[in-house]
């Protein structure tokens, strides 16, 4: 069976950088867990804000349970896994991890990306301007206060720490992109 490689980490840790580098090294299918939230924001025709995104995320979880984003993305994973390994970018909750682990077993590989809050908050401040046009709202900026609020909500309300703690591999992203890429290369050698 092909592998489902799920990326976990707090906002600004570097999950998107890891995903892009993985895609440059191998043929992967790609699913961004949180795209469901951002698609809803676009559907509403309003500007994304941390408060609105939080409301939408929590609404999905009220409707579908704490494993909502895994459950809603499983059809996409299954379709892509028929033809290739798949990156699941942004696994969030412990419950999502449990659902995916039960369904995919050893085919699920979890990679955590870690960076200290101070590092992440500096990256997130004015991030959108650094990346230019972003139709999928992937590189949104957050003030340090918004980022800290999001961290608190994700840890306390979404159980985000569990998948990070249970990751098969942890990348420390406190240095250069080149250093991060070197760590990813070592992980790829172990997975494949």
**Could you give the CA distance from residue 58 to residue 36 in angstroms, rounded to a whole number?**
12
In this structure, which CATH number among 3.30.360.10, 2.30.40.10, 3.40.50.300, 3.30.365.10 belongs to the domain 4-191?
3.40.50.300
Domain ranges in the chain?
4-191
HSE value, Cβ hemisphere, 13 Å, CA-based, for 26 = 21
- DSSP letter at 33 equals T
pLDDT at 128 (0 to 100): 56
| pLDDT per residue of the chain (192 residues) written in tens, 0 to 9 | 899 999 999 999 999 999 999 999 999 999 999 899 998 999 999 988 878 988 998 899 999 999 999 999 999 999 999 999 999 999 989 999 999 999 999 999 999 999 999 999 999 987 755 655 555 556 677 899 999 998 998 899 889 999 999 999 999 999 999 999 999 999 999 999
pLDDT at 132 (0 to 100): 59
pLDDT at 66 (0 to 100): 93
- DSSP letter at 107 equals G
Whether the CB-CB separation of 85 and 5 falls below 8 Å is answered with yes
The residues, any chain, with a CB within 8 Å of residue 186's CB and separated by 6 or more, are: none
Whether the CB-CB separation of 79 and 70 falls below 8 Å is answered with no
Angle at CA of residue 188, ends 7 and 4, nearest 5°: 45
pLDDT at 136 (0 to 100): 53
pLDDT at 157 (0 to 100): 83
Alpha helices in the chain (DSSP H): 15-25, 35-44, 50-64, 68-81, 94-104, 117-124, 127-131, 144-157, 161-165, 177-191
């Amino acid at each position: 069976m092909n592998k489902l490689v799920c990326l976990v980490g707090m906002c600004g840790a570097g999950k998107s950088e890891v995903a892009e580098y993985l895609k440059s090294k191998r043929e992967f299918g790609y699913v961004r867990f949180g795209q469901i939230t951002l698609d809803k924001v676009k559907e509403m025709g309003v500007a994304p804000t941390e408060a609105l995104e939080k409301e939408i995320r929590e609404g999905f979880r009220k409707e579908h349970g704490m494993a909502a984003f895994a459950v809603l993305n499983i059809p996409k994973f299954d379709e892509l896994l028929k033809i290739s390994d798949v990156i699941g970018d942004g696994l969030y909750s412990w419950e999502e991890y449990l659902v995916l682990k039960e369904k995919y077993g050893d085919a699920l590989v979890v990679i955590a990306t870690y960076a200290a809050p101070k590092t992440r908050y500096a990256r997130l401040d004015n991030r959108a301007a650094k990346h230019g046009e972003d139709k999928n709202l992937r590189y949104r900026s957050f003030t340090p206060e918004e980022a800290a609020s999001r961290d608190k909500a994700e840890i306390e309300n979404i159980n985000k720490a569990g998948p990070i703690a249970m990751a098969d591999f942890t990348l420390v992203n406190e240095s250069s992109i080149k250093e991060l890429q070197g760590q990813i290369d070592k992980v790829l050698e172990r997975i494949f």
